[in-house]
Chains A and B, each alone.
Chain A
Amino acid sequence: MAAVNHHSPLDPDVIRRDFPIFERDFGGRRLAYLDSAATALKPRAVIEAVDAYNSRYSANVHRGIYTIGEEATAAYEGAREKVARFLGAPDSREIIFVRNATEAINLVAYAWGRRNIGRADTILLTELEHHANLVPWQLLAQEKDADLEFVPFDAEGHLIMDSWEVLLRTRPRLVAFTHKSNGLGTLLPARQMVQQAHDVGALVLVDGAQAVPHLPVDVADIGADFYVFSGHKVLGPTGSGALWARAEILEAMPPFMSGGEMISSVHLRHTTFNDIPHKFEAGTPDVAAAIGLGAAVDYLSAIGMERVAEHEEALTAYALEMLPREVPGIRIHGPRTAAERAGIVTFTLPEAHPHDIATLLDREAVAIRAGHHCTQPLHERLALPATGRASFSVYSGRDDIDRLAAGLRGVQRIFGGPA
């Protein structure tokens, strides 16, 4: 792994040496990957951890009374401990491995929601939410005849806190919000919002999919009841992710998926369930992905999430300052300052649709996201059918943003905008 100096800013050139994808030639160029919000690139340490499992000890977990079975179990449960520490969770039994944040939220909606949400109960969400933290609650509300309420956001992408406080008076059973908006980059005041929600008797689920990869997260400090994230966005393999929830809540919940592994004793007509976390991990898990996630957590911990946050804030500040200067007419949506929105820059050009922009940038080996980023309601509120989104990670640098600017000027030339 690249040398790490805990006191210096990240050097993307050095970090990129850890990521084999940057060795690939894209028409004579290195990939300028600006879609880490969709998924992150993978460091060698993660790839090798997955390979090692598959090559040297690819046994099932929790069962084999032979060497590689025990090695697999140790690595899998070891990854669980790593994730717990990474999130500041007091107890690793509170970490449930899932495929992604979407699955984690569905688990809560299904296992907790069906038991605890009833007719005329209110679920309070925001208009910023990713579809993963919206659709499961819609389905639950329809099924249970419950109500959904939404905290709106202002022209700069901040939650309107007055509305938030008014809506809390509906005494929702559950409050669910994104820690950091994947659409606009807005950082929500999670700790404060959790406190306020608890004050009116609500349980709180926080969607950390965009937060965990980019800033230090301490679930104990935030105080939520459920916290979810996707491992593949934290430099881990696709198929990795976790739900953290308080042990007492998990213990009271009925299972999500059922079958093997999550049971204690099984008879023909009744079954007792396993303790947490295993109660919520039915069947053979994605062992390789979990082990890879453990390696990703190690990699990021060695860098230090404070440094990652500083790095991304600096990059965001650079982008917010230079893009309007270099790309005349560009509109950047969301919070004005980097401190309020680290890591994500969502924009539109007057002369070209984001799809066309993305296609042309691809010619320059610059990868951005174009569309609505799984936030159709947010885009409807902005009255924008689609936007372009550039998002950063540890391997992103000013040179990537420079290439984005140059690419955007090229788009403007082709579409006949300002020279």
Chain B
Amino acid sequence: MDDLYRDEILEHYRQPHNFGTLDAPDAVYEGNNPLCGDRITMMLSVGADGTVHDVAFSGRGCAISQASASLLTDEVKGRPLSDVEALTNQDILDLLGIDISPARLKCALLSLDTLHHALRDRAAASAARAGDQARAGDQAGAGDQAAGAPA
């Protein structure tokens, strides 16, 4: 009986969960392992309540990278962002439930890495927007009242 390529892993590889794209994702990132050609794009929709409303991944690569992405998307659906941000590499390995050799570690961790990048980009973008709004507010307050309140 194969531990690494047990049925569950192969199932997630052949019929990955949440495979596809979202129409208007709040967070998106394309991660890849140039060394082996694994590629994963993660998309998330975040609700006003700060939880993951929807998630999708697309990509191609080895069974471990794709199965890990599939399992990860199941894991984060409905979870608060803070939980998702707190997921660790060990959590992914626990999800996969198998011993990964050092050579294959990057395959297993690509999905989480990509997910975290997507969230980081989203956080950076909203911080930038908040900064722009604050500056626009200062200018409107300092000068004439021509344009009205900032959007």
Contact = CB atoms under 8 A, between A and B. Distances in A.
Interface string A204-230: 000000000000000000000000000
A416 interface: yes
A353 B61 CA distance: 6
A375 to B, nearest CB: 12
B5 A356 contact: yes
Contacts of B10: 414-416
A371 interface: yes
B62 A355 contact: yes
Interface in A389-419: 414-416
A359 B64 CA distance: 11
Contacts of A371: 35-37
B97 to A, nearest CB: 16
B4 A359 contact: yes
Interface in A345-404: 352-356, 359-360, 370-372, 376, 379, 384-386
A85 to B, nearest CB: 39
A356 B36 contact: no
Given A355-B36, A359-B104, A371-B36, A416 B63 contact: no
Nearest to A380: B37
B107 to A, nearest CB: 6
B2 interface: yes
B2 A386 contact: no
Q: How large is the interface on B (under 10, 10 to 19, 20 to 34, 35 or more residues)?
A: 20 to 34
A356 B34 contact: no
B62 A356 contact: yes
B129 interface: no
A355 B39 CA distance: 14
Contacts, number: 48
B135 interface: no
Contacts of B2: 414
A359 B36 CA distance: 13
Nearest to A379: B37
A359 B65 CA distance: 14
Contacts of B79: none
Nearest to A358: B103
Q: Give the interface size class of chain A.
A: 10 to 19
Contacts of A416: 10, 14
Contact of B34 (A355, A360, A376, A415): A376
Given A355-B104, A355-B107, A385-B37, A414 B5 contact: yes
Contacts of B62: 353-356
Interface string B43-68: 00000000000000000111110000
Interface string A150-182: 000000000000000000000000000000000
Interface string B1-36: 010110000100110000000000000000000111
A385 B35 CA distance: 9
A353 B63 CA distance: 7
A274 to B, nearest CB: 40
A385 B13 CA distance: 17
Contacts of A360: 5
Contacts of B104: 355, 359
Contacts of B64: 355-356
A359 B38 CA distance: 15
A356 B36 CA distance: 11
A385 B61 contact: yes
Contacts of A386: 36-37
Nearest to A355: B62
Interface string B86-113: 0000000000000001001001000000
Interface of B: 2, 4-5, 10, 13-14, 34-39, 60-64, 101, 104, 107
Interface of A: 352-356, 359-360, 370-372, 376, 379, 384-386, 414-416
25 contacts: A352-B63, A353-B38, A353-B61, A353-B63, A354-B36, A354-B62, A355-B36, A355-B62, A355-B104, A356-B5, A356-B63, A359-B4, A359-B101, A359-B104, A370-B36, A371-B37, A372-B36, A372-B37, A384-B37, A385-B37, A385-B38, A386-B37, A414-B5, A414-B10, A415-B13
Given A356-B5, A415-B13, 16 more contacts: A352-B63, A353-B36, A353-B38, A355-B107, A356-B62, A359-B101, A359-B104, A371-B35, A372-B36, A376-B34, A385-B38, A385-B60, A414-B5, A414-B10, A415-B5, A416-B14
> 8 smallest A-B Cβ distances: which pairs?
A385-B37, A353-B62, A355-B62, A386-B37, A356-B63, A356-B62, A386-B36, A414-B5
